[in-house]
Amino acid sequence: EAQVTQNPRYLITVTGKKLTVTCSQNMNHEYMSWYRQDPGLGLRQIYYSMNVEVTDKGDVPEGYKVSRKEKRNFPLILESPSPNQTSLYFCASSLGWTSSSYEQYFGPGTRLTVT
């Protein structure tokens, strides 16, 4: 089944404790992206990647890191989480990034709480 998977789905952690949220897709997609979703703010892009070893900042990259060592995986790293990073996180992927109708496929989400 074609899908985007994220782990963990739920995480409660404490301020400053490094964590990684994994994202994997099995559709051979070139483009991958991370979003956070907060009430009243909608989905905001954190980082994106157009291909292996190519990553760039989105709208809200502060406090996050990413890597794209393999095409299928795009982990999100929080080196020192803070309470303002409590949010619902979505990973997404799409076939490409040109002007075609490359809809993004979203993972199931990771609900992160930082205390």
Partner 1 sequence: GQNIDQPTEMTATEGAIVQINCTYQTSGFNGLFWYQQHAGEAPTFLSYNVLDGLEEKGRFSSFLSRSKGYSYLLLKELQMKDSASYLCAVRDETGANNLFFGTGTRLTVIP
Given the complex with partner 1, which of 73 and 106 has the nearer CB atom?
Answer: 106
Q: Classify 103 as helix, strand or coil.
A: coil
Rounded to 5 degrees, φ, ψ at 83 are: -55, -30
Member of 97, 112, 114, 115 binding partner 1 (CB under 8 A): 97
CA distance 58 to 55: 10
* Site membership for partner 1, residue 53 (CB under 8 A): no
Phi-psi region of 40 (alpha: psi -120 to 50; beta: other; left: phi over 0): left
CA distance 105 to 102: 9
State the number of binding residues for partner 1 (CB under 8 A).
29
Member of 34, 48, 74, 89 binding partner 1 (CB under 8 A): 48
For the bound state, the minimum distance from the C-beta of residue 46 to partner 1, rounded and expressed in Å, comes to 11
Given the complex with partner 1, which of 24 and 94 has the nearer CB atom?
Answer: 94
* Site membership for partner 1, residue 40 (CB under 8 A): yes
For the bound state, the minimum distance from the C-beta of residue 99 to partner 1, rounded and expressed in Å, comes to 6
